Amino acid sequence: MKKQVLIAFALCFLPVAVFAAEAGDKASLTDKEIRQILIQQSQVGYPGNCPCPYNRAANGSLCGKRSAYSKPGGYAPLCYPADVSDAMVQNYRAQQGK
């Protein structure tokens, strides 16, 4: 079941990753695009099904308050654009050389 969730997650975000790669080739990424990339990277590193409230638990229900985002301590995934600071965006740009 966990493998199916990971595959589904990867398939959902593959178009965004391809778009980001193409956008990087044609022009520099917008702050909005970088925020989305950082959110995705943060969630991919989470070992469970519920990094964010809007994700789905193994039984198909919304994670909501059971998510890591909603619980203090432990993992602190980025879930929303407001979670990504301007400094994080600038750091991403610096690391990518853009």
Q: Please give the pLDDT value at position 45.
A: 84
Question: Does some domain include residue 62?
Answer: yes
Q: Which pLDDT belongs to residue 74?
A: 84
| CA dist., res. 79 & res. 96, Å (int) | 22
List the beta bridge partners of residue 56. 62
Query: How far, CA to CA in Å, does 9 sit from each of 26, 72, 86, 97?
Result: 26, 25, 26, 28
The answer to the question of residue 69 being in a domain is: yes
The beta strands (E) that lie in the chain are given as none
Per the structure, the complete domain to which residue 76 belongs is given by 2-93
pLDDT, block means (10 residues), the chain with 98 residues: 44 50 64 97 92 95 96 92 97 88
Residue 72 lies inside a defined structural domain of this protein: yes
pLDDT of residue 97: 83
Q: Count structural domains, the chain.
A: 1
Q: Is residue 60 part of a domain?
A: yes
The reported pLDDT for the residue numbered 53 is 97
In a domain, 36, yes or no: yes
On whether residue 6 sits in a domain, the answer given is yes
- CA dist., res. 16 & res. 39, Å (int): 12
Coil/strand/helix, residue 56: strand
pTM tops 0.75 = no
